[in-house]
Amino acid sequence: MEKQVELKIGAKTMSAVLNDGQTADLFFRMLPMKLALARWGDEYYGDCGLKVKAERGARTEMEVGELAVWPDGSALCIFFGPTPASTGDAPKAASPVNPIGKIVGDVSFLKKLGGTITVEVTNKV
């Protein structure tokens, strides 16, 4: 069964589909959660309380709209463009992250937000 979640940032709600995988499953079971995220280039990240090790599929090269958990910081990451680690237009994590899913639709509005945001993540019913 496909695991779907909603991310609410202010008045904007985005849907995301989670991957099959241990980190994605653990994240899903922790919902709902409300997180304070900081900006690093075109990535928001913040402590989600999930302590995991890098999985076999951990990587630094990401896609716009991807969600990941950063093992080094127990953080949820939302990628929406290049980061300071990027060498081109694609997002790149500071160190390997466990991809957990992808936002469905346009995430460009995130570029207009400030240095910190609050995101509420819930199961999509």
pLDDT tens per residue across span 67-118: 999 999 999 999 999 999 999 999 999 999 999 999 999 999 999 999 999 9
Cα–Cα distance for residue pair 66/54, rounded to 1 Å: 16
User: 99-108 burial, b if ≥16 CB within 10 A, otherwise e?
Assistant: bbbbbeeebe
Half-sphere exposure of 44 (CA within 13 A, CB side): 24
Confidence of residue 124 (pLDDT cuts 50, 70, 90): confident
Q: Which domain holds residue 26?
A: 3-123
Q: Residue 69: which CATH number? A: 2.40.100.20
Peptide bond into 32 cis (omega under 30): yes
Would the pTM count as exceeding 0.85? yes
How far are the Cα atoms of 4, 21, 54, 73 from residue 7, in angstroms, in the given order? Answer: 10, 20, 24, 20
Amino acid, single-letter form, for residue 97: V
pLDDT of residue 80: 97
pLDDT of residue 2: 82
What phi, psi does 39 have (nearest 5°)? -95, 140
**Tally of domains in the chain:** 1
Cα–Cα distance for residue pair 4/86, rounded to 1 Å: 29
